[in-house]
Amino acid sequence: MHGGVRWDYVTYVGQAVSRYGLVIVLAWIGFGKYVKMESRVLIQHSPLMSWLYHFLSVGAVAAALGSAEIVAALLIALRPLWPRASAVGSAMAIVLFLGTLSFLFTTPGIVAGHAGPVPVLSAQPGQFLLKDLVLIGVAIWTLGDSLVADTQTHRGAARDTGGTG
């Protein structure tokens, strides 16, 4: 404790806001895929994902992505009860964010201009997509945190039952 502040508590609050903020963002964006087709413009220019439209409608692709985001959010939220499931949700989120970050390189209109040698991102979609860099960082942290918790849970269970872990 320093000056009346418990720094471990500050860390705990930051971790909770990070984890459950990620859950809220993923779920919100996932549910949004059912009411508007915001991802169509991004996906149609992506060599990694545009092929989906050869097999599925725009609505079906949006629903599949939205469902994956909602499932990832729910699994990440399970960390206190089921760390392994949370790790799966975190891995799903990482894959989803890698996909959206790839749009920074494939979507027309990302760069609005240049300030010297630095590209200036457009508000939509450039800056909108750039936030996923922070979100993927949080997802990587939640993955590691969940895997550590799962390992500790299994070690504790093995110790309690006389197993080898």
Per the structure, the complete domain to which residue 31 belongs is given by 7-161
> How many structural domains compose the chain?
1
- On whether the CB atoms of residues 109 and 127 are closer than 8 A, the answer is no
Going from the C-alpha of 138 to that of each of 25, 121, 144, 159, the distances in angstroms are 12, 22, 10, 31
Provide the pLDDT for residue 2: 61
The answer to the question of residue 132 being in a domain is yes
The answer to the question of residue 2 being in a domain is no
The answer to the question of residue 53 being in a domain is yes
More confident of the two residues 146 and 119: 146
Residue 42's pLDDT band, with cuts at 50, 70 and 90, is confident
- Which of 76-90, 117-131, 147-161 is predicted most confidently? 76-90
